Amino acid sequence: MLAQTLPPGMLASRTWLLHQGFSVHSLDNALKSGEVVALVPGVYTQPGLSLNWQGVAASLNRIADQPVYIGGLSALELQGTGHYARASSQMHLYAFSKAPGWLAKLPVSTEFHWHNASKLWGNDPSVCQFQQESWWEGLPPYLVAKKEQAFIEVLEQVPQQVSFEHADQLAQSLTSLSPKRLDQALRHCQSIKAKRLLFFFAKRQRYAWARRLAPEDYDLGAGKRMLVPGGRLDRQLLITVPKAFYEQE
C-alpha cells in the first residue's frame, strides 16, 4: 500500500503520509527495511530511482493543500520561450503557502525558487491558469502556468530580478498569446506594475492581440511609477522605462 501511495520518483513528507492513514510504526518499519529512504529527515522516497525536478514539482503539488505550480520564467522556458536548459537548473515555483523547510535540502541538481502566488493573484487559487504536464506514465502530473499568466509573473519581477532587456527578449517571442486568457489574468492580477508593463510591451511589440485589450478596461492604479532611475516616462502608462528602448525605435 505504501508503494502505491509513494510511487518511484515521487517524494512525500512524513506528516502527509500520516494523514493518509499510515501509522508511525509502519513508516518506521518501512524506513528500517529499506522500503523507503529518507531524502532529508521526515521526507521519504522509494530507493532506486533518482529524484528530478519533475518529481519534486509533482510531489509538492500533490502533498500541498493548495496548488503548487511552475510559473514565471520557468513556465515560459518549458513552453519554448527562453532557455530550456536553464529551466532544469533553476525552477520557479508559485504557491499559496510557505515553502517547506526541507525543499532547499533535497539532493537534486535543480535550484528551486519559491514565490508567493497570493501576492500576485490574491487568495483564490481558482483564478490561476495552469495546465497539467505528464512526465512519467502512471505518475501524478506537475502543473505549469499558461504563457499569459507566466509572462505577467515575469513582469512582476522587473527590474529587480528580471531586467527590462530580458523581459523585452521574452516579449518578442510572445506574439500569439490568448486575449481571453490575458483578460482573465489582468482582471485578477494584484500588481499594478505588472499590468502596466504588459501594456507597455504590447505597445512596443505591436502585438496583434493587443488591439483587443484596452488599458482603460483594467485597474492600472493612479500616479507615476518610477521603475528605472533616470529613465523615460511613458506618458500613457505613467511608468519610467530605460531610455534606450526609445532610442531603438
Query: Over 90: is that where the pLDDT of 60 sits?
Result: yes
Would strands 111-116 and 90-95 be described as parallel, antiparallel, or unpaired?
parallel
The pLDDT value recorded for residue 59 is 99
Reported confidence tier of residue 245, pLDDT bands at 50, 70, 90: confident
Residues 6+ apart with CB under 8 A from 1: none
- 145-156 confidence digits (pLDDT tens): 999 999 999 999
pLDDT, average across residues 49-66: 96
**What percent of the chain is modeled with pLDDT above 70?**
96
CB 151 within 8 A of CB 170: yes
The pLDDT value recorded for residue 50 is 87
pLDDT, average across residues 212-234: 95
Query: Over 80: is that where the pLDDT of 188 sits?
Result: yes
The pLDDT value recorded for residue 246 is 77
Residues 6+ apart with CB under 8 A from 181: 129, 146, 148, 149
- 21-42 confidence digits (pLDDT tens): 999 999 999 999 999 999 999 9
The pLDDT value recorded for residue 209 is 85
- 109-147 confidence digits (pLDDT tens): 999 999 999 999 999 999 999 999 999 999 999 999 999
CB 49 within 8 A of CB 9: yes
Q: How many CA atoms lie within 13 A of 223 on its CB side?
A: 4
Contacts 24+ apart (CB under 8 A), 160-165: 162/73, 164/228, 164/241, 164/242, 164/245, 165/242
Query: Over 70: is that where the pLDDT of 248 sits?
Result: no
Query: Over 70: is that where the pLDDT of 247 sits?
Result: no
Strand order of the sheet with strand 68-70?
Answer: 111-116, 90-95, 68-70, 142-145, 130-133
Counting every residue written for the chain, the total comes to: 249
The pLDDT value recorded for residue 83 is 58
* Residue for grid cell 487568495: 123
Q: Distance (Å, rounded) from C-alpha 194 to C-alpha 230?
A: 20
Q: Of 9-13, 103-107, 208-212, which gets the smallest average pLDDT?
A: 208-212
DSSP letters spanning 71-138: -HHHHHHHTTSS-HHHHHHEEEEEESSPPPTTGGGSS-SPEEEEEEHHHHHTT-GGG--EEEE--STT
